[in-house]
Structure 1
Amino acid sequence: MTDHSERNDPQPYNRAEEQPSTTRPVVQMESPYASTRGSITTKQLPPFDETIINKYNRSGPRYTSYPTALEFTPIPDGLETKILQNRETRAPLSLYFHIPFCRHLCYYCACNKIITKKNSDSGDYLQYLIAEIKHKRRLLSTSEDGRKPLVKQLHLGGGTPTFLRDEEITQLWTFLQTQFEFLPEEEGDYSIEIDPRELSDDTLKVLRNLGFNRISLGVQDLDEAVQIAVNRVHSAELIENVLNEARELGFHSINVDLIYGLPHQTPETLDSTVRRIIEMSPDRLSVFNYAHLPERFKAQRQIKDTDLSDPAAKLAMLGNTINTLTEAGYQYIGIDHFAKPDDELSVAQREGKLHRNFQGYTIMGDCDLLGFGVSSISQIANANTRYILQNDTDLDAYQTNIDAAKNNPMVMPAVKYIKTSIKDRLREYVIMNLLCHDYIDFKDVNQKFGIDAITYFINEIQQLGEMQSDRLIDMDAAGIRVLPRGRLLGRNVAMVFDEYLDKTHKKRFSKVI
């Protein structure tokens, strides 16, 4: 690569400011990222290498956006209105709804959830959601043929979305049909997070009949001692019954969330949980690292430091889990996520069509993300710029904004924003392809952004030299490839290309592993 890096080229960002090649991520018919997986249907990880993990186990972001949420600044008055009005009409939508309520406090929680048992809370909040939908919808242009904005993806997150009663979820869904055009259920991606303890006898049937086709269950662990320690108690039989019913109802994909590093967990108890979950055969698993930060998250103060595993045991939990899941045939997608080879995420990854945003890994990379509710985040592309917007994270302040908008249409719910530059878009493209496809194709980057990638990223390439020596990556004139040995450390590779990452920010992140 020396010959390329020492060329006397003009400014490497030569044409990008004038006429970049793309205004949003483009899914090509023949993706240069599809060939990285060939015809292999299960991309097995190599044996877990504890020495390498420890060497590179540094704090870093999860890259659900670039720049990350730490770059938010107060939004100027009137800007959100202009962003929505100028949104590219041809771009489909992904809708996200944040439901902040829970009936039980889980002690591992790192979110601002509202613990309540009053049914009126959800009804009041639903009316605020509907008011926000109306407020934003009036700003969105219809297509040239007069059709309503097209929705390809919808997700209810939280908190506990099933805190809403069945009739309230039905009310929200029915109202949305009057505001947007939805892809048919067999083509769209419509998901909801579920607390298995908070389901009525009919909830799954109601969700499936409405058109939800994907669910995610928060399980975390099946060991009773661990469940008591984190105040989230449920039986394995309950989880299995919910999975079986969802499968019988025809949900396309079922995800289970697990956490390693919880109080009283041991490598043996967690392995028992993982093997029991594999018997239930979910389509996807998310295996998260518990980050104990009681100084930041009040709920975690209920957990005693002495009940937590030491770093060696925690690393063993991760290694065992990875080995067990890959031996069972699950494909490692990236950043905590596994999926069966025939799941849409696995297929999209093999075809070079996987994307990542605030909803995590997604097959809907061509969508603008429109968030509703307290703390929700939107990502909207206009021409060469993407805007990232966030509503107020305080429920009272959020509701005050929505109330004010009823009398003053210029008041909008977003209070913070990020405006990305074309240079941000370039680095985002590199980072997301590394995290989604383990590869950066220099020719592809050159064509899309009008640069010589080797010249432009020469400093980053030099920083990756040690990872190449450790066989985590391979670099040549064609691009940068994350090798199987380095896949668990993909975030470390991506962090090299992050211009915003500094010592101050690193203190805000948990470790990669």
Structure 2
Amino acid sequence: MSKDFSEIDINVLKKFNQPGPRYTSYPTAPLFSPEFTAEDFTAEIISTNSGENASDISLYFHFPFCESLCYFCGCNMMVSKNRDHIREYNDYLKREIDNLAPQISKNRKAAQMHWGGGTPSYLYPQEIRDIGGYIRAKFDFAEDLEASVEIDPRGLTREHLEAFREIGFNRTSFGVQDFNLKVQEAINRVQSEEITRQTVEWARELGFESINLDLIYGLPHQTLESFAVTVEKIIDISPNRIAVFNYAHVPWLKKHQNIIPDSALPSPDERLQILKMTIEKLISAGYEYIGMDHFAKPTDELAVAQKNNTLYRNFQGYSTKAGCDVYAFGLSAISQFQNIYAQNLKNLKDYYKRVETGFATTNVGYRMTDDDHIRKETIMQLMCHLAIDKRSIEEKFNINFEDHFADSIKKLDVFIADNLLENTAEKIKIVGAGKMVIRNIAMCFDAYLEKMIKEKPVFSKTV
């Protein structure tokens, strides 16, 4: 056990358990505005594709459909058992690709691809091959492509995984959440341990290079003892990566979460005890705590990238492919370039109508300011490298770090006092159990947060 986590003070963590962003972007999505239009997005595409040294690209495709509703879900998804609806969506997704792909320079290779949802694996194997083949024909893919897909093991067949491998996927993430049956029934997601083990075995046999399993703590009826059993089973399955997410109970944003009674949820103290136990068990089993909610084996590329200071963070979470413009397709998907964010329409009929016009399906977006760039770099260094290199920030942006962040630095004192952070002349560095409150530390550098929180509740709690 790393001594950093052997003496975690629950009382210290409790005072930092407040609403805050996950910082998959900066500024965060609530600041996106309809003032940023489809025309703005198209102009930015032209601008980013005009240079000879344009970066590689990352492709994201959103498949919103699920067979059933998981009550904890916070994703942009919809339940449908009508396969015609899925086929229609796939057709419109192809049309959106047709509208956008010709505007992207042929010199730019796709170095990364991610399918999320919803449930991409809800597609039939032939549908996977069809849409995957269509995408492969429209873009030039890098030889070292990193391609990942989110998969629900329930209802999955080996042929599904074969289809994903055939079109180039080499990484996968399986949803587990919790193996306890009482918890599974409470969240409307019953999934046996046997199904999960079979799915992982298939993925290994088919040559997926990295396998991630998702867990969620803070779910209804979860206890320290019951979740410890789940964690031990996950360790025995031995995936390359493990994500341990904090259940975001936001029924004012996701109305279906009202199905989960507050009385069934673990208390704040219990949640923190569950998190502490999980971290201790995973570190003892040899996993490296990447930060926030991700763990990886020391040989996994995420852990290696963090050691080499090449880890990056975007809307898909942690990534090893820094510097790629993200082109996102499908309902609610978010594109991310150096200077802008652009989110697609969230309503299916509106999305279809826009696709038919041939214009970009942008709904809202954001153009970054000079100060946004400085703060984004600072927050990303913290989230990915667990430290902020003051001199590198100063050199990159021609600022005096102490002057520019005078107000932010004052807010760090509480973390320093609790031995979670060190502030030296050269660096601000996370120490001890500071990884557990990394979102809170990042919040000190967010210029918009106080105003957002005062206006309306939009974020889940951080711990």
TM-score (norm 2): 0.95
**Counterpart in the other structure of 1:173:** 132
- 1:71 equivalenced with 2:31 (yes/no): yes
SS at match of 1:183: strand
Call closer, same or farther: CA 1:70–1:311 in 2, change over 3 Å. same
Task: Write the deviation string for residues 412-468 of structure 1: whole angstroms up to 9, x where unpaired.
Answer: 200111000121111000001001111111111111111121222222222212221
**Contact 1:61/1:68 (8 A) holds in 2:** yes
Q: RMSD over aligned Cα, in angstroms?
A: 1.5
**Counterpart in the other structure of 2:97:** 133
**Counterpart in the other structure of 2:460:** 510
**Counterpart in the other structure of 2:257:** 300
- 1:56 equivalenced with 2:16 (yes/no): yes
- CA distance in 1 between partners of 2:125 and 2:7 (Å): 45
- 1:427 equivalenced with 2:380 (yes/no): no
**Counterpart in the other structure of 1:397:** 350
**Counterpart in the other structure of 1:104:** 68
The letter of the residue matching 2:215 is L
SS at match of 2:44: helix
- CA distance in 2 between partners of 1:247 and 1:77 (Å): 42
**Counterpart in the other structure of 1:267:** 224
- CA distance in 1 between partners of 2:300 and 2:138 (Å): 30
- CA distance in 1 between partners of 2:441 and 2:220 (Å): 31
- 1:438 equivalenced with 2:386 (yes/no): yes
- Which among 150, 164, 170 is matched to residue 123 of structure 2? 164
Greater gyration radius: 1
Task: Write the deviation string for residues 21-80 of structure 1: whole angstroms up to 9, x where unpaired.
Answer: xxxxxxxxxxxxxxxxxxxxx996443321210122221100011100011111235212
- CA distance in 2 between partners of 1:43 and 1:116 (Å): 48
State which drifts further: 464-473 or 416-425. 464-473
**Contact 1:463/1:496 (8 A) holds in 2:** yes
SS at match of 2:42: helix
The letter of the residue matching 1:251 is F
* Matching of residues 350-389 of structure 1 within 5 Å: 350-381=307-338, 386-389=339-342
Call closer, same or farther: CA 1:202–1:44 in 2, change over 3 Å. farther
The letter of the residue matching 2:37 is P
SS at match of 1:105: coil
SS at match of 2:103: coil
- CA distance in 1 between partners of 2:29 and 2:37 (Å): 17
- Which among 248, 266, 270 is matched to residue 309 of structure 1? 266
- CA distance in 1 between partners of 2:251 and 2:424 (Å): 44
The letter of the residue matching 2:109 is L
Percent of paired sites with the same residue: 42
- CA distance in 1 between partners of 2:423 and 2:287 (Å): 28
The letter of the residue matching 1:268 is E
State which drifts further: 214-223 or 49-58. 49-58
Which runs of 5 or more residues in structure 2 are unaligned?
none
- CA distance in 1 between partners of 2:162 and 2:4 (Å): 36
**Counterpart in the other structure of 1:15:** none
- CA distance in 2 between partners of 1:77 and 1:128 (Å): 17
- CA distance in 2 between partners of 1:499 and 1:124 (Å): 42
CA deviation after TM superposition for structure 1 residue 198, in Å: 2.8
SS at match of 2:449: coil
- CA distance in 2 between partners of 1:209 and 1:356 (Å): 27
- Which among 181, 188, 201 is matched to residue 158 of structure 2? 201
CA deviation after TM superposition for structure 1 residue 202, in Å: 0.9
State which drifts further: 216-225 or 162-171. 162-171
The letter of the residue matching 1:416 is V
- Which among 243, 260, 263 is matched to residue 286 of structure 1? 243
- 1:414 equivalenced with 2:362 (yes/no): yes
CA deviation after TM superposition for structure 1 residue 112, in Å: 3.3
Task: Write the deviation string for residues 297-324 of structure 1: whole angstroms up to 9, x where unpaired.
Answer: 1221222222222222121111111111
**Counterpart in the other structure of 1:486:** 434
SS at match of 2:189: coil
- CA distance in 2 between partners of 1:340 and 1:213 (Å): 17
**Contact 2:420/2:431 (8 A) holds in 1:** yes
**Contact 1:95/1:369 (8 A) holds in 2:** yes
- 1:153 equivalenced with 2:112 (yes/no): yes
Q: Which has the higher helix share?
A: 2
Q: Report runs of 4+ in structure 1 exceeding 6 Å deviation.
A: none
**Counterpart in the other structure of 2:200:** 243
* Matching of residues 22-41 of structure 1 within 5 Å: none
SS at match of 1:86: helix
CA deviation after TM superposition for structure 1 residue 199, in Å: 1.4
CA deviation after TM superposition for structure 1 residue 111, in Å: 2.5
The letter of the residue matching 1:195 is D
CA deviation after TM superposition for structure 1 residue 503, in Å: 4.8
State which drifts further: 131-140 or 170-179. 170-179
Structure showing greater relative contact order (alpha-carbon pairs closer than 8 Å, 6 or more residues apart): 1
**Contact 1:265/1:309 (8 A) holds in 2:** yes
**Contact 1:43/1:331 (8 A) holds in 2:** no
The letter of the residue matching 2:31 is E
- CA distance in 2 between partners of 1:360 and 1:287 (Å): 12
State which drifts further: 353-362 or 203-212. 203-212
Task: Write the deviation string for residues 133-165 of structure 1: whole angstroms up to 9, x where unpaired.
Answer: 11111222333xxxxx30000000000001111
**Counterpart in the other structure of 2:277:** 320
Call closer, same or farther: CA 1:503–1:424 in 2, change over 3 Å. closer
Which runs of 5 or more residues in structure 1 are unaligned?
1-41, 144-148, 406-410
**Contact 1:111/1:297 (8 A) holds in 2:** no
- CA distance in 2 between partners of 1:347 and 1:119 (Å): 42
The letter of the residue matching 1:116 is S
CA deviation after TM superposition for structure 1 residue 484, in Å: 2.4
**Contact 2:292/2:435 (8 A) holds in 1:** no
TM-score (norm 1): 0.86
State which drifts further: 279-288 or 165-174. 165-174
Call closer, same or farther: CA 1:418–1:244 in 2, change over 3 Å. same
